[in-house]
Structure 1
Amino acid sequence: MLDDFQYAKSEDNSTTFVAENSKLLRYKRWFKEAVEAQQKWRNVAREDREFYSGKQWADGDKKTLEDAKRPAITINRIKPLINVLSGYQRLNRYDIDFLPRTNDDDEQAQLRKGVTKYIMDRSHYNYEESDVFNDGVVTGIGWFEVGYKFDWLAQDGDAFIRRVSPFDIYADPESRDKHMRDMKYVIRARWVDKDELAAKYPQQADEINAQTAAYMTEETENDKKYNELWYSHETKKIRFAECWYKKAVQKQLFILKSGELVDQVTEDMIALGMILRQQTVTTTEIRMLAFFDNVVLEDIQSPYKHGFIPFVPFICYYQGEDDIPSGVVRDLKDPQREINKRRSQELHILNTQSNGGWISEEGAMSPQQEASFKRNASTPGALLKVNPGALSMQKLQRLEPQAPPSNIINASQEAMNEMPSISGINEALMGTDISNSQSGRAIELKQKQAITHIAGLFDNLRMAKELIVDMLWGKRGAPGIIPQFYTEQKTFRIVGENGEPQIVTVNQQVQQQQVNPQTGMIQTITKTLNDLSVGEFDIVIADTPATSTQRTAQFWSLVDACGKLGIQGNMIMDILIDLSDIPQKAEIKRRLKSQQEEQAQAQQQQMQAQMELEKQKRLSRSIAYKDLQLPLQLQLAAQAGILPQQYADAFLQWSIQQMAQSMGMGGMPNMGQQGGMPQQLPQMQPIAQQPTQQAAQSPLTQAAVNGLVEANKPVL
């Protein structure tokens, strides 16, 4: 193998030209540096994964115990703790929300939220996230890949989010950011079949075959060690590497008078004077180089315009500098080793002390009897024979075994008690070893203590999820995967704002007519409805987990609050249904809405009937005026605005004077001057039923007259 890595040995051991790419040496050096820098992490991470799986004894220690015929006990206390942590993550998945920056973008924000959830559901994101989370808590780091794949047979493509094995990723060892946002490159190296790689890159098939043949003829130990990076003699597979890296480039940008920033201009824009100025800026470009040892397979600019390396890490514990990622398992291995070794020692002591041995005088047993004692002395039901008189003369004496040391048992218990305190996952979170005497409040406080201990893990997971959504949507001037590739009309079945399924069509082209403000002519324009490439939004990860357990807790909290505040259930019944996990929510809400509309209609009809009844009552009261004397009828008519008041007063005064004259009472005071009825007035009857002079001798008091008037007033 030559030093410049541009040539390889062929089958006849001759030097063959493979590739001439001056940049290849740099990327291979990057790969070698990343391999060496991460070798320590890979060694301990593989051991972490083995401890989680139950392989917790070193090969040398286990062989030593087997040779001594001693047990190698494995009491896996790590797996239940990790399973509880993983289960907690599955029950507390956080939802994504889009906050509009203007009031006009609210509807677009809801659309983007629905489209994002659709893409994540198509990618089985929840399961991928749980697998990456498990990688992180076990080995220290997990990786997502975010991209777009086009299916030529279906003539359609979809964005995807999937887990990548952390042992396939080699990140920039110079990265210092806690979330590795400053990494300059990421190399994904996978073991693939030679024929598979040649089929994917048919133009480089000869070079792939020649390079693979060179690994069979290595002559020195250095060659063999180097070739292990690229060729596996056990599986006969080769290593295919993709290097995604950042490159600084000079770029010409044009600022238009409208404030828009573009990188290309047309002759029409120049002729119309639309360009304000030209600016040269330094930007970061993402590129991808695919290679196999000395063979360059592909060297292209990144197909994604969002400006990110399409790999997102989830890191459990990492300081960012002079440190390697670690998971929850890392600190539990020593207590786990102590538990296993002490339990093995306890079992060995019990096995050896179950037969305390014998003391025998010479001649008490024959050689055959001694061999039988050695074999069967501790066997249940064994029948052992000795020489006559050996027992009666006490020539045999049994050695009673001592009790196992209590400090060994106590040390094992201490090691088991240390594991929850180290991991932060206590018994309250696991739901075990809870005393019946403990109050619910005390248990809740212990659970919150455990959740506080592991809160940092979920913050890191939320950060990874936010970076994923940034790649899906991008930012101004750097569109994400969705705006870049989802440009044609497409119909999605998304979850609406109220939780109900909703069918929406994005990028729908419609023709509309409008008046040109300059010419006044009607013109036809094409408008895009639900355009996924417009609008600016702030992406946040919701604080409330979008899981059935949390929704149930919120449901009962709201029910309890309604009971304490006296809020009627029908006012928020639709919200309660959305928080619940009952089936057929849409049908229940539809029936509830129909019932509420019927009740509202019935209440409206009842109100109208009540108003009609009141009207009839008023009319009934007003009908009583026909039984009054004509002057009072005119007074009531005047109060209702039917007759002028002065006419009614004049007729009343005249009627009183006429009645007084007929009764021989002389002149009466003027009503208009005194403003009231006289002190004494005989009862008046309707004109058609005027009493005779003899029947009207009992005068009415002023209070009686006023009472008569008030009782017969109509309500108008």
Structure 2
Amino acid sequence: MERDERAVARRNWHRYEYGRERGHREFCKIARVNEGMYLGGGLQWSEEDRQALLEAGKPCFEFNQILPKVNAALGYQIANRMDIAFKPRNGQATDDVAGTLSKVAMQVGDNVDLHWKETQVYADGLIQQRGYFEIKVDYEDSLLGEISVEALDPMDVIPDPDAKSYDPDSWSDVVVLRWMTYDEIEANYGEEARAKLEVEAPDEEDFGDDFDDEERNRFGDSTNIGVDRLGEMTVGDGCKRVRVVDRQYWRMERAECIVTDTGDIRPVEGMPEQRIADIIAAGGFRTKRRIRRVRWTVSTMNHILHDDWSPFNHFTIVPFFPFFRRGLTRGLVDNAVGPQQMLNKSLSQYLHTINTTANSGWITWAGTINNMRPDELEERGAESGLHIEMKAKTPQEQMPRKIQPNQIPQGLDRIVDRSAMLLEQATGINEAMMGQRGPETSGIAIQSRQFAAQQQLSVPLDNLARTRHLLAGRMLEIIQSFYDEPRILRITETDDRGRPITQSLPVNMPFEDGSGIFNNLTLGEYDVVVTEQPMQITFENSQFVQVMEMMEKGAPIPWPFVLRYSNLAHKQEMIDAMERQAQEKPDPLLEAKVMLLRAQTLTEASKKDKTASEAVNKAVEALYSAMQAAGVVAQNPAVAPLADEMLASAGFEDKNGAPVVDSYGATAEFAPAAGSVPTNTDPLTPANPAVGVTRGIRTPETDGAMQ
């Protein structure tokens, strides 16, 4: 058994060495250079170049332009946090449980400081080509287990050197290197594991000597440290740390599985019985078949610390690669190293040339200077106000002459400008994205240019969205698999007035009557929805601006909702005071607005009634005029052809067909004329209801008829 354990440990160690030699060692060198170029502070020059310049008496200045440009790219991620939500996919999934899962994911993100750790992983990718999350379940603070998310050092993670896919599910394995003390090994793997390492005898084979590896980042330096052949590092305080190889890999196994009603295959091992029963009740069934599972082996060079099937369906590692091309990774700094080095060297050479022109040297004749020796002139020759006393009777041609300095080479200043421009082109971060515009430029114009400049970051941001989706999917699986016991989570939300409130969220809680489980997170299939939401202060500002614009357009938004999106320090007290004031005494301004609106409504109704009345009046006038015309034709039939001709000439259209005015053959009997009745004999002003309405009642005869 011990021999088999040692063989497994050796295979694990050899796989680590295989990945290290197949590209990881070279990656660490590049990552170390890129990090130095980003941080600056003396790290942008190699030690060999620095020594060569010092020996030649030349300066080695740094003018770090990579740091602000990468920070501008980091600013976008910092200002936009990840918002994880879920939506139901199959019949067992519900909208209520999807909302609960979204709240649980939000609580997990707040608990593990996900936003800040994502910033670290995003920065690792931009600077060192690669960034890695590690998501798993931690039982250190809770017996029920809590999701843990960590940001790993990319120099400690060795992906499958033969893989070429972004998704770790396509990798054959992944190795994470860890330096752990004996106390940490005991805490994670038990007392027996510690005892085996403490009694381990030295081995003659040199598998742990990694002096040629790149140094890892830490708060201290690497002095007073020794590494022996077993990969044990002894620090000056006597504490030993052992190199631990943490490897996860795929392996086929015939295992008992459960097939859900949607066809998904899940291993039964580690699954709660209640969940198995619920899946079977929903239409699933149990079976045995060969499946691909994750094997998890943790070892030193000679001993196994852990070797068992992983409780997770995927690797715990989630990668982020800003630029990914079938296994080849790049960051923002890679292509900026050359322009930055050219900028440093050209500026250092430019300053060196200027310095040499200030003290270009002297030409003197021996024995002509009275107040200083030649070596003193060499040291003080460039001083301001230098006084040289010549000996008496020194000829003019033997006076000291200053050597004319060489002119600055043409084009050296243009190389400096070109280097700065190449840095912008290499990183895609220009002055517009960094907000470096003059005061004469409007804020809206700056924002438009910043939005256009963000298109240069489309590929890194798209890959960040892909990483977020992978991480959210792993989180959902862990929640449904490990958050299967009744528990109460504390979450913080905002009420209708924007006030933060803390409330309890029970999950997997059985009903008292035993009829079911409230917020059962283990059932159903859900889709992952990952969106971006601005940071709280920026989001509220944008909401406030939109609310004010809507109010200017006339939207009847109550003032408490407007105050909700403001940044006032005591907005809650203001909202409460406004509500109390509204209950005690109506707002006179609000009442005036209501009365004005009511008056406007009545005015509109009056306008409608007036329009209808006018239409009726016109119809009555037209009817009366028609009746008068008919009476004239009846009394004098001879005018019918003439009237028809006049109406047709005026463009009148008869709805009944031509002629417009029919001839009337009968002879009408005239009513007896009333005395002193006014008649209208003017053909230019025919009879009108204005006359008939007031007088026609008293004069039954036709007004337009000639007596």
1:292 is aligned, of 291, 300, 322, to: 300
Report whether the alignment pairs 1:207 with 2:211. no
For residue 644 of structure 2, what is the aligned residue in structure 1? none
Shift of 1:374: 0.7
1:132 corresponds to which of 121, 140, 144: 121
**Partner SS state of residue 388, structure 1:** coil
Does structure 1 conserve the Cα–Cα contact (< 8 Å) formed by 2:8 and 2:304? no
CA distance in 2, matches of 1:77, 1:584: 42
* Distance 1:558-1:425 versus aligned 2 partners, 3 A rule: farther
For residues 104 and 284 of structure 2, the distance between their equivalents in structure 1, rounded to whole angstroms, comes to 37
Counterpart for residue 503 of structure 2: 503
Asked if 1:424 corresponds to 2:395, the answer is: no
> Aligned pair in 2 of structure 1 residues 351, 253: CA closer, same or farther (>3 Å)?
closer
Q: Does 1:452 align with 2:460?
A: no
Q: Distance in 2 between matches of 1:508 and 1:175?
A: 40
* Identity across the alignment (%): 22
Q: 2:336, 2:423 within 8 Å by CA — same for their partners in 1?
A: yes
Conserved 8 A contact 2:492-2:503: yes
2:353 counterpart residue number: 349
- Give ranges in structure 1 of 5+ residues lacking alignment: 1-5, 7-16, 475-479, 513-523, 611-700, 705-716
Question: Which runs of structure 2 are paired with 1:207-606 in the superposition (5 Å)?
Answer: 207-211=196-200, 213-214=201-202, 230-232=231-233, 237-253=241-257, 279-304=287-312, 307-321=313-327, 323=328, 325-365=329-369, 369-390=373-394, 392=396, 394-432=398-436, 434-438=437-441, 440=443, 442-474=445-477, 480-481=478-479, 483-485=481-483, 487-495=485-493, 500-507=500-507, 509=509, 511=511, 524-564=513-553, 566-570=554-558, 574=561, 576=562, 579-583=565-569
Using the TM superposition, give the Cα deviation of residue 107 of structure 1 relative to its aligned residue in structure 2, in angstroms. 2.9
Counterpart position of 2:82: 94
CA distance in 2, matches of 1:203, 1:85: 48
Tell me if structure 2 keeps the 8 A contact 1:251–1:283.
yes
Contact conserved, 1:372 with 1:384, CA < 8 A, in 2?
no
**Separation of aligned partners in 2, 1:573 and 1:81:** 42
CA distance change for structure 1 residues 597 and 229 in 2, over 3 Å: closer, same or farther?
A: farther
Secondary structure of the corresponding residue to residue 127 of structure 1: helix
CA contact (8 A) 1:246 1:284 kept: yes
TM-score (norm 1): 0.69
In structure 1, the partner of 2:171 is 183
Q: Aligned to 1:69, which of 57, 61, 76?
A: 57
Q: Is the Cα contact below 8 Å between 2:480 and 2:523 reproduced in 1?
A: no
Matched-pair contact (CA < 8 Å) for 1:179–1:315? no
User: In the aligned structure 1, how far is the partner of 2:205 from the partner of 2:422?
Assistant: 51
CA contact (8 A) 1:93 1:547 kept: no
In structure 2, relative to structure 1, the CA distance for the partners of 1:510 and 1:592 (3 Å cut) is farther
Q: Matches of 1:49 and 1:375 in 2, distance apart?
A: 41
Pairing of 1:96-135 with structure 2 (within 5 A)? 96-101=84-89, 105-135=94-124
1:16-35 Cα shifts (integer Å, max 9, x gaps): x7764554443333212211
Shift of 1:143: 1.0
Q: Secondary structure at the match of 1:490?
A: strand
Contact 1:377 1:384 in 2 (8 A): no
Measured against aligned partners, the alpha-carbon deviations of 1:178-204 in whole angstroms (never above 9, x if no partner) come to 344411211111122346435653213
Does the aligned pair in 2 maintain the 1:19–1:295 contact within 8 Å?
A: no
Asked if structure 1 preserves the Cα contact closer than 8 Å seen for 2:124 and 2:154, the reply is yes
Q: Contact (CA 8 Å) 1:135, 1:142: kept in 2 or not?
A: yes
Task: Decide whether aligned partners of structure 1 residues 83 and 275 sit closer, same or farther in structure 2, where only a CA change above 3 A counts.
Answer: closer
Report matched runs for 1:36-55 at 5 Å: 36-37=21-22, 38-54=24-40, 55=43
* RMSD, aligned CA: 4.1
CA, structure 1 residues 533+591, in 2 after alignment: closer, same or farther (shift >3 Å)? farther
C-alpha separation between the residues in 2 aligned to 1:220 and 1:312? Answer: 29
> How many equivalent pairs are there?
566
Select 2:20's aligned residue among 28, 35, 42. Answer: 35
Per the alignment, in what secondary structure is the counterpart of residue 428 of structure 1? coil
Q: CA deviation at 1:254?
A: 6.1
Q: Which moved more, 1:389-398 or 1:407-416?
A: 389-398
Q: How has the CA–CA distance of structure 1 residues 425 and 376 changed in structure 2, closer, same or farther, with 3 Å as cutoff?
A: same
The 3 A distance-change label for structure 1 pair 591 and 464 is farther
Q: Deviations over 1:152-177 (max 9, x none)?
A: 7x655422212111112111112211
- Are 1:171 and 2:159 an aligned pair? yes
Instruction: Give the direction of change, closer, same or farther, for the CA distance of 1:25–1:108 in structure 2 (3 Å limit).
Output: same
Q: Cα offset for 1:538?
A: 2.1
Distance apart, 1:112 and its partner CA: 2.1
Equivalence for 1:666: none
Displacement of 1:425 after TM fit?
Answer: 1.0
Amino acid at match of 1:56: Q
Could you give the per-residue CA deviations for residues 623-682 of structure 1, whole angstroms, max 9, x where no partner exists?
xxxxxxxxxxxxxxxxxxxxxxxxxxxxxxxxxxxxxxxxxxxxxxxxxxxxxxxxxxxx
Q: 1:511 to 1:132 in 2, by over 3 A?
A: closer
Find the aligned partners of 1:332 and 1:241 in 2 and give their Cα distance.
34
* Match in the other structure for 2:636: none
**Contact 2:540-2:565 within 8 A present in 1 as well:** yes
**Following the alignment from structure 1 to structure 2, what is the Cα–Cα distance between the partners of residues 224 and 491?**
48
Task: Quote the Cα distance in structure 1 between the aligned partners of 2:284 and 2:479.
Answer: 31
Give the superposition deviation at 1:330.
0.9
Matches of 2:578 and 2:96 in 1, distance apart? 26
CA distance in structure 2 between the aligned counterparts of 1:320 and 1:344, rounded to whole angstroms: 39
